[in-house]
A and B are shown apart, each in its own frame.
Chain A
């Protein structure tokens, strides 16, 4: 399933699963990620899955590129229970205060607010990866009708909890951060909890997510 392994510098393996971004390729990435987490090959310091790549960092005092490559290619892949499909429900408030880019989106896409939101809330999304900032989930795929590029000038500050969309993806800003995604709402729930050491991320690669609308007073009174 790994198409090619290269070295990324002298202390990481760069595993390429193909050029496409789709659920099937990403499921393979996640399968390797989960197996490697379970095998605990000595010397590995980090495993980073993304859409179609898996990067394995290691401690050069313990192992090197060739030896680790051999070990990774030699692991027997186990299936992880895919029968239990996990669906996570995330409340979103689309009040004007939170959906800064809805106006512009409506213009650019030539669709009404209602249409955009209907397309968005009607779909179930798949989590391809988490990262960039702690716990940020990268979800897809958006309906063809509401896909568009990033903002031309990224915002210096995107508020925590913001729901952003761009191209075929959507994400949630787990911290206030710079960012260029089109913001259409905000969630009151804690998507990342640093005090939960075992399960800090609410949404993990391979999970499915459904969003649902809440109003402003529900948002303000939310008790996570």
Chain B
């Protein structure tokens, strides 16, 4: 029972804290008074009695602390005391408090938001059953060292039937279909998947069932089902006409089902059955393959087994000569492209967090400097150093707490702001959200920032000695640099690293923008048309496209029109081996691989791709005789080095080997994106090789919207059931392809600007405090005739020395760090001298500008200060 009583009393002491403290004070006062009275009674002079009594009594503060100790509530009481005192001193300097909290909040918000993104994209588990067991299989082209090549149908079948490393395996290929439900025909993107695909992922349809092997069936995404059937469960069993036939809806996938996207898989709104046929077995390599590891089998097991099987297959078929198999974890495959840039962003934001923390430390130090006298007095009165440090830490913990709360609130908002900015090709954007793990990270980030700030501030506070007050009051200090000088240098260093990263990505982005794509994008619009199987013959298809072009060519504002199998920046298309039949090929695998595009004469005119040698396509190309081909400069140089290719035959490994005659050489064009250098390209005439799916390209002075309008009208009159899709201005396509670089560059530049601002605040803050402390010294200089400029220079010089130290250290770190950017940069070396020199100049300039504020403050110090005492 006694512990309960004493607990209650302790609680009482805590609750009645002020009262108890007052009582303690009163008691000590009374004691002193009695002591003095007694000494006076003994005949000591009152003044002397008071002095000796005080001396004999000793340090009041320490007795009070020991008194608190004796009550057994010391630790808790101290915390409460410190929190109260901390809050009081934070309230006393609201500007400083707000600045510190905002600085911390900025760091916490930025790092939490970026972590939230990176976590969602890279680290969150995939929404499938046992996603760690899912892998992607690729063919590995050993001669070219390309380990992620799409897969031939026959090889998929051999892997599925002969490998025992996998519990299941499925093939899929992107597919889009035209759906004519209602008035507007629509082109819908989806995928053909082999039977058992959804079972392999471990996601069952929410409604209905999975696809079966041999029926015209379709499974819909939740979004498509809601859009087209209004979420009616009776949709299952209904028929949708597409591909010239009728497909029965057998299932609807659950809401939020996020199908794996890798390779050339885009968004998917429906899934159709993929069937291997004699026809598609002859198509070459085009499949994507997903598999689930057999229980107990590791990724390494699967790799070695597949390597063995790959060797067997290479022996069995000449088309597999020089090919093996690679096995990649699904998660790694999906996030592969985004990983590098997200990790760089994560690292950069980490640096920003450290900067924010050190800045908070500087600001805390500044606020502590104001109360140096107060602390020195407390030390003189017998308070222990531990107590002082504890109090400083409490104050920075309070600031950290405030910063964390504000920062995390801002992070939630920031993630909402960033996600729409994300390039559309970033995988798994749907899984970006702020939840437990992300908030935990934010908390840890805030705690780490707080610890740094607290530790630095606490170390600084230890400098106070009981004599500090006396000394400063008496003579003023002359020697010793400003407090926090090293921190300022460190901050400048961090800012250098961040600015170098930003500078490199900016230069890389500029280089990407400046790349000569080889074609003109101005005023060019592209749209895709896929004719239904109803057209039947190539002649009817050709006639239709001819009629569309004719109608468009007559439109006001349209300069030229053309057709191509796939527009530049429109994704991958056919690529195959090409060779010079006049030369003996050493090995099949040595053949040059060329992109093949089917185009008409109008395509080159519209995209302003010049013919550098020979003739352009005739309009129209003859439909008989040996087919003629236009090749690009790269292919001409590879197949006919030092010779003219004009009039020469070239073998193209297409349609069982096509022998074509080189009619002309056109300029190199970047077909895929701005980064990928042009590779060999062969353009075959559309009139010889008709296709039912084509991109129409239209160039003109009319606005893109007007051009698209005329195109729609032309198509609608000729075939009302034909949808126009992938409608885009070429300019926009190019912009979109740069979206990821732009995103990274934008974020890194923002970080760098923030870092520069933080460094400015740090420098200005530290030197303002320094000037305030050295007012007397400056006053004396002024009194001795120093000019204003000399005083400003005095401060500037000190600031620049510190900044210089920081810049040098930062550059060294930046050289090491910038190598990590290697895979992101384009056209810029990681050790780019322009970036490094530029950043050095920027940092020194910014530091000087920041030091100008304290410099000017110093120059306004009156010489009278020297004459007046304190």
To the question of whether A and B form a pair in one complex, the answer is: no
